Each structure stands twice: as C-alpha cells, then as structure tokens.
Structure 1
C-alpha cells in the first residue's frame, strides 16, 4: 500500500486517497519526509505516523499533457489539407486539359470558318462575273433585236444570221443567268456554314473562359485551403466542360 501511495505522491496526485485510511501506518522515510513538508497535513510525527484529522489531500496544480493532443490535431489537419490539395490538383488538371482541348477546337473552327468565308467570297466574285456576262449578252441581243425591228419598219427583210445571233445571245444569256444563280446558291451555303462555325467558336471561347476562371479559383483554393472556393471552381469548371462537349456534339 505504501508503494501505491508513493506513486501517487510522486506525480502530485495526493487528492485521490483518504487520510483516515492511512492513519497510524508506518511509511518509508522518503515519503514521511515529503508529508512533513506538505502544508495541507496538520501533523506528522518523527516515526512517519500520520496524525490529526482531515478529509482530502488536494493537488497543488493540475498537469495536463497537451503535446500528444496537439500533435494529433496537427496530423489530422495536415491529413485533411493534403486530401483537399490532392482533390484540387486533380480537378485543376482535368479542367486544364479540357481548356486546352476547347482552345484547340475553337482555333480549328475559326480557321475553317475563315476558309469558308473565303470560298463564299470567291463564289460571289464568280457569280458577279456571270451576271456581267449575262448583261453583256442581253445588251448584244437587245441591239440585234433593235436592228431587226428597224429593218422590218423599212420593209426590208432581216439577214438570216441576224436571227441566229439573237437566238445565240439569248441562249448564252440564259446559261449565264443559271450559272450565276448556282454560284450564288453555293455562296450562301458556304456563308451559312461559316456563320455556324463562328457561332461554335464563340461557344468554345465561352467554355474556355469558364475553364480558365475555374483553374484560377483552384489556385486560390489551394492557397487558402477553402473548400467553398474549390466547390465554386469545380462547379464553374464542370459548366465549362459541359458547354465544350455539347458544342462539339452539335458541331
């Protein structure tokens, strides 16, 4: 029993046992010496017997070991922060890949649109040439028709080749008009395709912009360790990714 009490006294936990239980017991010399120095004991004789009457020996101070607790808390924080950083890194890398893909698609669509615009311009120039040819043939046919009418008014018969020339110009005029209309139709088709690609380019540009903002928010989330910022980055990045994939599907 003396060893248990000495252990309690050595760590300062003197309030865990009752005084009356050890009244009159012989204690080891070192324990008795410590008890004589304790002001909370009313009396202790030279033989080490505890005398007097009191109810509890209270500890002078409470010692709480918080080092291990602090280390555990720090480890848990580092664990959670590491998991958050890994999640941010993965989502940011995914959004960066989507942004690169969206930029590539946006560049391809605008280049194709410019090529189609160039072809439409060429078709327009060819159609204009055909309409000019049409007008020239129309003027020549009109001149020959006027000559024939003048000859007829004078009572003279028109040469045979005059009628053939008028008919030839009329046929050439009709052919030029048909070709001009076909060229204009091709021009409109190329122009519509180019406009659709330009619209897709704008959608890709919006998607890339959202992905870039998402990546920037991911960097902020990594620096501040704020999950709310990371969630905002993820939502914006997912919207940009969905818009990019949807534009590619309708294209």
Structure 2
C-alpha cells in the first residue's frame, strides 16, 4: 500500500536497501554474488532436469506404441494359426484336388506366420530398448532434480547467513553447492 504512505518491508528488503544506500560490507556483497551464481547454476540444472524428464516420457510413449504394434502382430499371428489349423483339418477331411489346395494353404500360412513372428519379435525388442532408455533418462532426471534441490538449499542457507550474519553458515552453503554441482555433473555424464 505504498501509494497511501504505508509500506511494509521484509528483513531481506531492509538489508538490500541498506546495502544500496550505504555501500554494504564485503560479507554482504560476497554472499549476494554467491547467491546469484548458485541461482544461475540451479536454473540451468532445473532446465536439464525438465529436458531429461521429457525425454524419458517420450521414450516411454514410444515403448508403449511398439508394445501395441507387437501385440497386434501376435494377434495377426494367432489368426493365421487358426486359419492354418482349419486348413490342416480340411486336408484330413478332403481328397484329390481340394486336399492339394488345402495343403498349399497350410504351407502358405506357415510361411506367413514366420514373417509375422519375425516382425512381432522385432517390435518387442524395440519396445524393450525404448523402456530401457526411458529408465536411463529417468535416472538422469533424478540426478538433475537432486542437484537442483541441493542448490536451492544452498540459496536458502545463504539467505539465512545474510540475515543472521553468521559467517559459519557460508561453509554449509559451499558444502551444499559443492554437493549439488557434483550430483549435477553425474547427471551430465549420465551416471
């Protein structure tokens, strides 16, 4: 409500205004720069985490499509098996020219089933490969998410250090930042 002459300042706002008006001290400036750097790295890690999660979802979707296609092929295979069974029954129930016709149909169905089976197996292998890649991407996403969380903790701790003026908290900020950077590197390396 600053338009009516009344404005509420938070402790952080007061500290920022104080630094702007009076130049601040070296501690405040260093913590501010450190926080800005950590925030920037955290934003990059957050972006990478989102990217890896999207990739994992796309690969999982691809796996589902391949599984559906494989299922369709196996249904087609079963339909050809049923036709082959009927043709085999017809071979035993007929004779002469009709029997020869059904024998040819049995051989044709056997050949068609082999081709269908090869395609179904190929689609199942593709589905399995996509599932495995999706799991790998989710693992990478978890690394990025953990790295981002560690950097957010470091930012919060730097704000506490700035507000309380406790210099020992800066060591905790460096530790959380270091851990976040290491975990982010593991995500980058897909480990």
TM-score by length of 1: 0.64
Runs of 4 or more, structure 1, over 6 Å off, are none
* Residue of structure 1 in register with 2:123 after alignment: 183
Aligned pair 1:124/2:124, yes or no?
Answer: no
C-alpha displacement of 1:83: 1.8
Q: Does residue 1:88 correspond to 2:31, yes or no?
A: yes
**Residues 224-235 of structure 1 mapped to structure 2, 5 A cutoff:** 224-235=164-175
- In 2, distance between residues paired with 1:161 and 1:129? 28
Higher RCO (CA-CA < 8 Å; seq separation 6+): 2
- Per-residue Cα deviation, 1:144-190 (whole angstroms, up to 9, x for no partner): 11111233xxxx33533212111111111111111000000000000
Q: Which runs of 5+ in 2 are unaligned?
A: 1-21
TM-score, reference length from structure 2: 0.83
Verify: 1:201 aligned to 2:141, yes or no.
yes
Larger Rg: 1
Q: 2:113 matched to 1:173?
A: yes
Q: How many residues were matched structurally?
A: 169
User: Residue 112 of structure 1 corresponds to which residue in structure 2?
Assistant: 55
For residue 84 of structure 1, report the CA deviation from its aligned partner.
1.5
Asked if 1:140 is matched to 2:83, the reply is yes
Q: CA RMSD in A?
A: 1.7
| Helix, strand or coil at the partner of 1:226 | coil
Aligned to 2:12: none
Bigger share in helix: 2
